[in-house]
Structure 1
Amino acid sequence: MSTHRSSSRRSISTDSRMLIGIMADLETTIGFLLAGIGEVSGPELDKNFMVVKEDTPVPDMEHFFSYLCNRKNLGVIFLGSYIIPHLAQVIPHVVKTIPIILEIPTKDTIVHEMERKQGALKKMKMKIKG
């Protein structure tokens, strides 16, 4: 009796899974990659993630975002909150319901927001004392 074992890895072209795309800073992207969302496939080694640095050109961000939106196997795209203003020209043109586009806070935006709130709290305390 012969048994045929099928590979546990599926072919990307026949895979029906919905993947997650991400565009964020290095730390956030690495965190998601460690959680298993990274996918590199095809002869051109297409990726579903992009590390966006301060010096990343806006056209590169717009091009990669459009590429993610046009992929048929992406269900969600996570965007670091600091990237949203850079994509203001292309986000309004996305009319599809899938992929879902979600803004996520990154380390820098969380720290900045906490510092802003601390500053406002200090000003309020000074007004009360003075």
Structure 2
Amino acid sequence: MPPKGRSHGKGHLEGMDSPDMLSDDGSAFDLGKPPARPIDDPSVLTIGIMADTEVTLGFLLAGIGFHRDNNCNYLMTDDDMPLEELETFFEQLYRMHNLGILILDFPTHKRLKSMLDKCKNMLPVIVVVPSKATLVPYQEWKGRKHIHEQDF
């Protein structure tokens, strides 16, 4: 005989979601509802990305993307994109109060070099990643940069 207050079968705590995402009657929860908006906690840092389609999609699949209130933390770039559009989006990301890391692919980094030289804030940390098409030039650049740093 089960303890008082418990019924036979699957255990259920009132007011708690089922771990298997089934309601009491065994049907799936209503997935048509929009997900709850994450709490904008100023102590939580986000990640921004400006890269080609393949690199950006990879990071989006990893879960770093958001699109809220006409703002998003990613931009899929290509060689034909106007520099002004890149600079505008970069400034928008750079001024975000909760951006901790900004990921740039190598071609975007080269195009934004003059703006990046002016950035003096500790955050966001700028991380340059190679794309499939720019792996060899990226490795050469990284090697030259490493040799230059050893000279100092």
TM-score class normalised by the smaller sequence: 0.7 to 0.9
- The corresponding residue for 2:55 is 28
Aligned to 1:70: 95
Alpha-carbon distance between aligned partners in 2 of 1:16 and 1:4, rounded to the nearest angstrom:
29
Are 2:38 and 1:10 aligned?
A: yes
| Structure 1 counterpart SS, 2:114 | coil
Report the AA paired with residue 60 of structure 2. L
For structure 1, the residue ranges without an aligned partner over 5 or more in a row are 117-130
Gap regions ≥5 residues in structure 2: 1-13, 17-34, 141-152
Post-superposition offset of 1:17: 1.9
The 5-angstrom pairing of residues 1-130 of structure 1 reads: 9-12=37-40, 14=41, 16-42=43-69, 45-110=70-135, 112-113=136-137
Question: Which 4+ residue blocks in structure 1 deviate beyond 6 angstroms?
Answer: none
User: How many residues end up aligned between the 2 structures?
Assistant: 108
**CA 1:15 to 1:86, structure 2 compared with 1: closer, same or farther past 3 Å?**
same
C-alpha displacement of 1:4: 7.3
Q: Secondary structure at the match of 1:103?
A: strand
How much does 1:40 deviate?
1.0
Greater relative contact order (Cα < 8 A, sep 6+): 1
What displacement does 1:15 show?
5.5
2:22 — aligned with what? none
Q: CA deviation at 1:75?
A: 0.3
Give 1:70 deviation, angstroms: 0.4
Q: 1:8 to 1:53 in 2, by over 3 A?
A: same
Greater helix fraction, Structure 1 or Structure 2: 1
What's the C-alpha RMSD, in Å, of the aligned pairs? Answer: 2.4
TM-score (norm 2): 0.63
AA aligned opposite 1:18: L
Query: Which of these two proteins has the greater Rg computed from alpha carbons?
Result: 2
